[in-house]
A and B are shown apart, each in its own frame.
Chain A
Amino acid sequence: MEFRTEGSVHRLGDDINTDHIISSSRKKETLDPHRLKEFLFEVSKPGFAAAVNEGDVVVAGANFGCGSAMEVAVTTLIASGIHVILARSFARTYYRNALNNGLIPLECDVSDTRDGDRIEVVVSGVDVRVTNLTRRTCIPTKALPPTARELLDVGGIVPLIRGRGALCPS
């Protein structure tokens, strides 16, 4: 895949659970990510919804997206303009949901990245380059595993199944 974004960092800590991304009780009214996005991080990072711009990057610590596997925690972030998440590590269900929807989860060393820094992310084939433009540093990033690249290449699990009919064609 070929992807590039440049945007501001929204910095979060470790163990950000999906209820913190979007509260499960909000799903009682709608599943429409464009309506839910105003409630993103309403408790853990108030003001996020108003501040986020298309192309911005969420940067988190370890175990991002732990807790419930609810997928609105991915689709609502995408609706807010986020297409990449940088984190030290991801909870497994969040990682899967991200790939399935075309949200790029990158595991990297985020220790020196601060709220408001400008970040550039470039994905070109197997190469991933993450640059902190504010600090003029290159952020070492793990390569995307083949399954992840395959899903992102086709644009997620919906086009994959629509195209092939199965994960593994028989």
Chain B
Amino acid sequence: MAGKTISEKILSAKSGTSTSSGDVVICEADRLLGTDAATPMAIDYFRQMGEPAVANPERVLVALDHYAPPTTTATKEFHDQVRGFGSTHGLCVCDVGDGISHQLAAERGWARPGDLIVGADSHTVTLGALGAFATGIGSSDLAAALACGQVWLRVPETVRVSLEGTLSLGVTAKDIGLALLAEVSGVESSGYVALEFGGGGVARLDMDERFVVSNLVVEMGAKAGIFLVDQTTERYLSDRSPHDWQAVEPDTDARYVRNILIDVDTLSPRVALPHDPTNVVEISEAQGQPIDTAFFGTCSGGRAGDFRRALNVLELSGGPAAGVRLIVTPASRIVHTELVADGTMDALRDLGAEITVPGCGPCCGTSAPIPGPGAMVVSTANRNYQGRMGDASASIYLASPETCAASAATGCITDPRTVLDA
């Protein structure tokens, strides 16, 4: 019998069976995550299920992140509904301004190697960076998991991704993710696969960089993007969680449906053109495209390092070009606090940035600034679907914080290496 991948091992452990790719198993979830976008519907389903007791309330975190702050009567009511439900059932509800659900799970040490985490937010995959099997579900699955603690999952095939080398100046984890998107998304039936990240280059990525890579796997249609655990993972968790977890390693004879090598040394900055995150090109092909809005934030580009690096590029280039709008949305209150403490927020504000409440808002047009009609946006987000930010006439280009900052400074898409190498 062939050995097992990380996904096969975690789902075997959580289902109490020896399972392999292709099997459908019922698993016990270690953590359930909800948001204000998905939980109101989950509450409806849960009531239709007979409103049983929540199976494991101590495992549930619900974040009021999409409508932060609420801008309509309906969204304010969703929040009250979620707060009421959370209080009745003893759930951890993170309020407006606390941040994005999966970012909060990471910050609180709620995602550990070997855990099975399901979240009613497709970007729950971000937590694979910590060696967990983390994947997105809808509201009805969340309701069922609240009711019985379980989720059914098809055990995915795995693509092994080897990252080799070191990022050069001006090239980032976002560029790794975008390059991988172009590589994987064209392949028929890439959906349902899990990605397993290993190779010598992983050790040189810090935790925040790994979050970015795992975050982007859902745009390839993948179910999970799991990093092998190393000292960086251990260090990240040591401040946040008791060391009662065990790293899950793939067997040496585990079966992979595909092996991909990403040569990190030779990578160049990438840009995803409108209106699909898989429309990825090298920056040379997008250079010169005029832009009028630069959005810094989200679960792919809203951590402290992302803003610091963006600010550095903006300052080196003399600030944003006239007429370019800067929108800044930290992924969480903790991120925001770190940026206030080191002066980054003040500096961004002084450059004219519109600083919004931490959360998801601008990325999906659910709260806070929307682009104007016909706006040309560069964004550190992960999705650029038409209408995604709340205006269907806007065009969204996805890139790294460095590329977004360099582009904001010139008013057109610009290779950040021209600023950083100078």
Q: Using CB atoms and an 8 Å cutoff, list the residues of chain A in contact with chain B.
A: 15, 17, 19-20, 23-25, 27-31, 42-44, 62-63, 66-72, 74-75, 89-93, 96-97, 100-101, 145-147, 156-158, 160-162, 165-168
Closest 6 CB pairs of A and B: A25-B365, A166-B148, A100-B140, A97-B138, A168-B26, A71-B138
How far is A145 from B152 in the complex, measured between Cα atoms in Å? 13
Interface hit among B163-171, B245-253, B348-356, B379-387: B379-387
B365 engages A23 (CB within 8 Å): yes
Cβ contact of A100, chosen from B67, B75, B141, cutoff 8 A: B141
Cβ contact of A91, chosen from B78, B139, B143, B191, cutoff 8 A: B191
Counting chain A CB atoms within 10 Å of each CB, the highest count among B45, B71, B72, B191 belongs to B191
User: Which residues, 133 to 151 on B, are CB-close (under 8 Å) to A?
Assistant: 136-141, 143-144, 147-151
Q: Using CB atoms and an 8 Å cutoff, list the residues of chain B in contact with chain A.
A: 24, 26, 37-38, 40-41, 44-45, 48-50, 52, 66-67, 71-72, 74-75, 78, 120-122, 136-141, 143-144, 147-152, 154, 188-189, 191-192, 221, 223, 276, 278, 364-366, 370, 383, 385-388, 390, 392
Counting chain B CB atoms within 10 Å of each CB, the highest count among A27, A43, A160 belongs to A27
Counting chain B CB atoms within 10 Å of each CB, the highest count among A19, A42, A69, A145 belongs to A69
Given that A157-B144, A167-B144 are known contacts, is A31 also in contact with B276, CB under 8 Å in the complex?
no
A19 engages B138 (CB within 8 Å): no
- Chain B residue nearest to A75 (CB atoms) is B41
Cβ contact of B136, chosen from A27, A69, A158, A166, cutoff 8 A: A69
Given that A24-B366, A71-B140, A157-B140 are known contacts, is A89 also in contact with B37, CB under 8 Å in the complex?
no
Given that A62-B188, A167-B148 are known contacts, is A96 also in contact with B387, CB under 8 Å in the complex?
no
- Chain B residue nearest to A25 (CB atoms) is B365
Cβ contact of A69, chosen from B67, B137, B148, cutoff 8 A: B137
A24 engages B365 (CB within 8 Å): yes
B24 engages A145 (CB within 8 Å): yes
Give 24 A-B contacts (CB < 8 Å), ordered by A residue: A17-B383, A23-B365, A24-B37, A25-B364, A25-B370, A25-B390, A27-B366, A63-B191, A66-B221, A67-B122, A67-B383, A69-B38, A70-B38, A72-B41, A74-B138, A75-B41, A91-B191, A91-B221, A157-B140, A157-B141, A161-B49, A161-B147, A162-B48, A168-B150
Given A23-B390, A67-B385; 16 other pairs, CB 8 A cutoff:
A17-B383, A19-B388, A23-B365, A42-B392, A44-B386, A62-B188, A68-B364, A70-B37, A89-B191, A97-B140, A100-B138, A158-B45, A160-B144, A161-B148, A166-B149, A166-B150
How far is A145 from B192 in the complex, measured between Cα atoms in Å? 15
Contacts of B276 in A (CB 8 A): 15
Counting chain B CB atoms within 10 Å of each CB, the highest count among A17, A97, A101 belongs to A17
- Chain B residue nearest to A166 (CB atoms) is B148
A158 engages B140 (CB within 8 Å): yes
A43 engages B392 (CB within 8 Å): yes
Given that A25-B365, A161-B147 are known contacts, is A89 also in contact with B189, CB under 8 Å in the complex?
yes
- Chain B residue nearest to A88 (CB atoms) is B188
CB distance from A10 to the nearest CB of B (A): 18
Contacts of B365 in A (CB 8 A): 23-25
Given that A29-B72, A31-B40, A63-B221 are known contacts, is A147 also in contact with B152, CB under 8 Å in the complex?
yes
Contacts of B150 in A (CB 8 A): 166-168
Given that A31-B41, A146-B24, A166-B150 are known contacts, is A71 also in contact with B139, CB under 8 Å in the complex?
yes
- Chain B residue nearest to A66 (CB atoms) is B221
- Chain A residue nearest to B15 (CB atoms) is A168
Contacts of B38 in A (CB 8 A): 69-71
Cβ contact of B48, chosen from A24, A91, A158, cutoff 8 A: A158
Contacts of B143 in A (CB 8 A): 157-158, 161
- Chain A residue nearest to B192 (CB atoms) is A92
How far is A156 from B144 in the complex, measured between Cα atoms in Å? 11
How far is A66 from B276 in the complex, measured between Cα atoms in Å? 11
